[in-house]
Structure 1
Amino acid sequence: MTTSTSADPPPVAAPVPTGVLTPRAGMRRQLGTDTRYVLLGFPVALAGFVVLFAGTLLGTGLLVTVLGLPILAGTLQTARKLAAVERQRLERVLGHPVVRPEYREPAPGAGTWRRILVPLGDPQYWLDLLHALLKLLFAVPSFGVTLTWWAGAVVGTLYWAYDWALPHPEENEGLAELLGLGTSPAARIGLNTVIGVFFLLTLPLVVRGCALLAASPGRALLTGVAEMRQRITQLEEQKRAAASAEATALRRLERDIHDGPQQRLVRLAMDLSRARHQLASDPDAAGRTLDEAVTQTRETLAELRALSRGIAPPILVDRGLPSALAALAGRGLIPVELRVDPELATPDGRLDPAVESTAYFVVAEALTNVAKHSGATECTVAVTRHGPTLTAAVTDDGHGGAHLAKGHGLAGIADRVRAAGGRLDVVSPAGGPTEIRAELPL
């Protein structure tokens, strides 16, 4: 049996990837992204407002005729296209993918009027239209402030280069003179340079704020509702997965108790009854029967301990996930190499009990499937922590072919992982190897 709790080689310093940005380069890139978003967003918002406002007025005014519905439908379709463009721009500003809503689509073979009426009955189309009409209210101040700050930064920091070319009539009091700094060129250049430096230093922060202000209606109307719906769907899936996992666990526990300890206890009761009847007529036979009863008792206790380890082993509660996994690997029917993140073995590295229990269940069930069905000769268990995610991976060299179809052993693992808000991936090509990887949020 091969078991090692931290068999990873010592870390080796890796070369810095060429694509990694320094903080300063990242700030410059973000500044450029935010500036493009704000400056290009104003003309796009203006054009979208004009076109969609006109389309809405025209379609609403013609609702008394047949032409109103097609015009409104076309306006909503245009709003959807503009919303799709805005979502792509939002991803660059926010730095992460945004949720795309699911639009209602006409059924295959639907008639013309059915296709026209579908957008009118989808709330997301109207949210896209509302976004296009409100976007301008946020784009105008963002555009003005961003343009002003860029102008102040460029004009102020480069003032020394063109001060000589500007007229400075004596009858006009400049800002430097009003502040009591005098009328000399040095005073003018120094003051304007200081102002330019102030605009330059605050430029990333101000432009970032303007970009987030301009993006706020898009985040609320274009992705906010979709994110809420996605979250509700995920919670419903987790609820169903939790119920399914609980039902599966109860059925398996009932089956194991019925096939194991319950049968042994029935036999134990029969042996004790037989021994009672043998005591008077055949004491030696009664002794042998009692010896068999003692053996049955020990075997029953062993099976009960095995069942309790499968539900919630005491070592998991007392000593944590690494020790529980080491004990689990030590009882494996095939050699198991265990690799556990050393951080998890420290007192401060203890995880939430629900996460530890789920990770233990995943590894225990995966090792059971490996021993029963894979035909593997060796297996590797790796448990690592990456930021807010715990990853538990079980890899074997068996013949492969594992999948998550309902009714198979891995389906119960998938339900348990989804109930914890995680994700289970199975890579098992024909001929192997097989990798079962669970990612659990911490």
Structure 2
Amino acid sequence: METTYAGAPATYPIAPARRYLRQLGIDTQFVLLGFPIGLLTIVLCLAGFAVGVGTAIIWIGVPWLAATLLMARGFAHIERRRVASVLRRRITPPIYRTARTKGRVAKVFAPIADGQSWLDLAHGIFRFIPSTIAFCFVFTWWVVALAGLTYPLYDWALPHPPDNMELPELLGFPDTATVRIVFNLGIGLFFALTLFPVVRGSALLEAQFARGMLNGVNELRRQVAEANAARDVAQEQKAAAVSAEATALRKLERDIHDGPQQRLVRLAMDLGRAEQQFANDPEAARATVAEALAQTRETLDELRALSRGIAPPILVDRGLRAALTALAGRCTVPVDLDAPVAERLDPAVESTAYFVVAEALTNVAKHSHASEVRVSVERLATGLLVTVADDGVGGASLAKGHGLAGLDDRVKAAGGVLAVESPEGDGTRLTAALPI
């Protein structure tokens, strides 16, 4: 972001400077405030832990130790809020163990049995180490930078030894006071220029220690949960891909058996009959051969249709929009197509989107009794959205045993999601979201 001042010939970026100054202030107050908080925390946590452990043998120390852990948890909540501004990210608090019963004894032992509560206590005891290191660096850099840059303002009030003119003359300065002022200004300038990285590094040292102690286990658990979820999704996609492939193979086998195979059997029988007729009845043989030729053409048409269902050439050559246009032209129900996607997508995405529309239009033509169907393909930032809606009788389902179950597996195998809204008597709306 840049701001232009009136009458100025150029633009002056002020947002980065403000951002650095704001972060410098945040880091400075984090470190300077963390030192007294750490001092207070180590005293209270060590005292509470010592008293609790020392008197645990007579059972008085058990509730005392639980109270100390709860106190450390309170300090941990405060520190998580403080750390968020330094790390520029929200720190999600962990889930602490709670008592499974409502009894007082269970409530007392709940913090003692919780691992994160002990990590909070350990942080309260050991946080003084990074807090002290960070405080020393930050305090030193601020003091030296300010003292050096403002040295000319108070040089007159400091006692100085008698002037020795040999050094100033050697350096080209008129007197010793000038050398002293330039030297201190140089030191102040160096510390001022290195102030931001030193303060930032000190704050990150303390903040990362707190994050590791107070949220490290929780983040590790979340990463494990995400990895398990990703593994489950991958297994579901693999199972869906296997199921979709098996369904497609069964459908192809059924279509070949019901169509081209029957025609080829009849073609073989017709040719055999024609061979026998050539000797006795040539005219009947010619009619039989002509009928066989017609059967051959019909068989070729069915094989072309099956090949389009496996890998339509127009989809490979000209893309999704052209393939959907051809698909809509062959549908027996009028299709209103809205597919502005012109650029080529990943072949797997294009293939899945094509088969979603193809299967949906096939179901519309066979079962919906619809008078019109609308097909929409929309390119979004997160993926491709394919919608097929008709005004038919409804009743479609993704459940196993229905025609759309195999389509659902195909979409899942591509990493997408398929949804169907099909109330009885109110049409069907099929929506597929595919990642790209």
Structure 2 CA distance for aligned equivalents of residues 328 and 77 of structure 1: 65
Q: Report the Cα distance in structure 2 between the residues aligned to 1:439 and 1:37, rounded to whole angstroms.
A: 42
CA–CA separation in structure 1 for the residues paired with 2:149 and 2:44 = 40
Counterpart for residue 45 of structure 1: 38
Distance 1:75 1:357 in 2: 61
Aligned twin of 1:28: 21
Is the CA contact (8 Å cut-off) linking 1:424 and 1:438 kept in structure 2?
A: yes
Q: Is 2:167 the counterpart of 1:170?
A: no
Identity, % of aligned positions: 25
> 1:202 aligned to 2:227?
no
Indicate whether 1:98 and 2:101 are aligned: no
Does residue 295 of structure 2 align to residue 295 of structure 1? Answer: no
C-alpha separation in 2, matches of 1:89 and 1:24: 23
How does the TM-score come out when normalised to structure 2?
A: 0.71
Partners of 1:257 and 1:118 lie apart in 2 by: 57
Which residue number in structure 2 is paired with residue 242 of structure 1? Answer: 234
- 1:218 corresponds to: 210
Query: In the alignment, is residue 69 of structure 1 matched against residue 62 of structure 2?
Result: yes
- Offset at 1:37? 1.1
- Aligned mate of 1:336, from 335, 338, 357: 338
Given candidates 212, 222, 228, the residue that maps to 1:230 is: 222
Helix, strand or coil: the match of 2:90?
A: coil
Inter-CA distance 397–326: structure 2 relative to 1 (3 Å threshold): closer
How many angstroms apart in 2 are the aligned matches of 1:187 and 1:288?
115
* Structure-2 residue corresponding to 1:83: 76
> Cα offset for 1:106?
2.5
Question: 1:244 offset after TM fit, Å?
Answer: 1.3
* 1:193 alignment counterpart: 185
Instruction: Tell me whether 1:306 sits opposite 2:309 in the alignment.
Output: yes
Shift of 1:148: 0.8
SS at match of 1:170: coil
State the shift of 1:278 in Å: 3.0
- Please point out which of 43, 51, 54 is paired with 1:58: 51
Distance 1:42 1:303, change over 3 A: farther
Deviations 1:369-402 (A, max 9, x none): 99779x9846352244xxxxxx215286979xxx
Q: CA deviation at 1:88?
A: 1.8
* Secondary structure in structure 2 of the residue aligned to 1:381: strand
Task: Report the count of equivalent residues.
Answer: 381
Q: Secondary structure at the match of 1:103?
A: coil
- CA displacement at 1:191 relative to structure 2: 1.4
1:301-329: CA deviations, max 9, x gaps? 5334434479xx984xxx9xxx7554565
Q: In 2, are the aligned partners of 1:394 and 1:437 still within 8 Å (CA)?
A: yes
Cα distance in 2 for partners of 1:152, 1:425 equals: 65
Deviations for 1:128-184, whole angstroms, at most 9, x for unmatched residues?
2222222110000100110111111111111122222x23243699xx98x977863
Partner Cα distance (2:29, 2:399) in 1: 49
C-alpha change, 1:69 and 1:296, in structure 2 (3 Å) is farther
Partner Cα separation in structure 2 for residue 133 and residue 414 of structure 1: 54
Q: CA shift at 1:94, angstroms? A: 1.2
Change (3 A) 1:33 1:246: same
Instruction: Point out which structure has higher relative CO (alpha carbons under 8 A, 6+ apart).
Output: 1
Q: Amino acid of the residue matched to residue 46 of structure 1?
A: L
1:386-405 superposed matches below 5 A: 391-394=382-385
Q: Say if 1:255 and 1:22 are closer, same or farther in 2 by CA, change over 3 A.
A: same
Q: Which amino acid counterpart does residue 93 of structure 1 have in structure 2? A: V
- The equivalent position to 1:270 in structure 2, one of 262, 265, 268, is 262
Distance in 1 (alpha carbons) for counterparts of 2:83 and 2:430: 39
Q: Is the 8 A contact 1:52 1:129 kept in 2?
A: yes
CA deviations 1:249-272 (Å, max 9, x no partner) are 332332233234433235433332
Distance 1:44 1:424 in 2: 51
Return the alpha-carbon distance in structure 1 between the equivalents of residues 267 and 386 of structure 2: 51
Deviations 1:264-302 (A, max 9, x none): 235433332333233333554465356435534543453
Q: Which residue of 2 aligns with 1:252?
A: 244
* AA partner of residue 306 (structure 2): E
Q: 1:247 to 1:434 in 2, by over 3 A?
A: closer
Q: 2:139 pairs with 140, 144, 147, which one?
A: 147
Q: Give the Cα separation in 2 of the matches to 1:301 and 1:211.
A: 69
- Please list the CA deviations of residues 1-50 of structure 1 after superposition, one character each: whole Å capped at 9, or x if unmatched: xxxxxxxxxxxxx999xxx9722111111111111111111111111111
**Equivalent pair of 1:155/1:196 in contact (CA under 8 Å):** yes
Letter of the structure 2 residue corresponding to residue 275 of structure 1: L
1:425 and 1:172 mapped to 2: Cα distance?
88
Please say if residues 243 and 409 of structure 2, whose CA atoms lie closer than 8 Å, have aligned partners that are also in contact. Answer: no
Q: Which runs of 5+ in 2 are unaligned?
A: 5-12, 275-284, 329-334, 391-397
Deviation at 1:89, TM superposition (A): 1.7
| Pairwise CA RMSD | 4.4
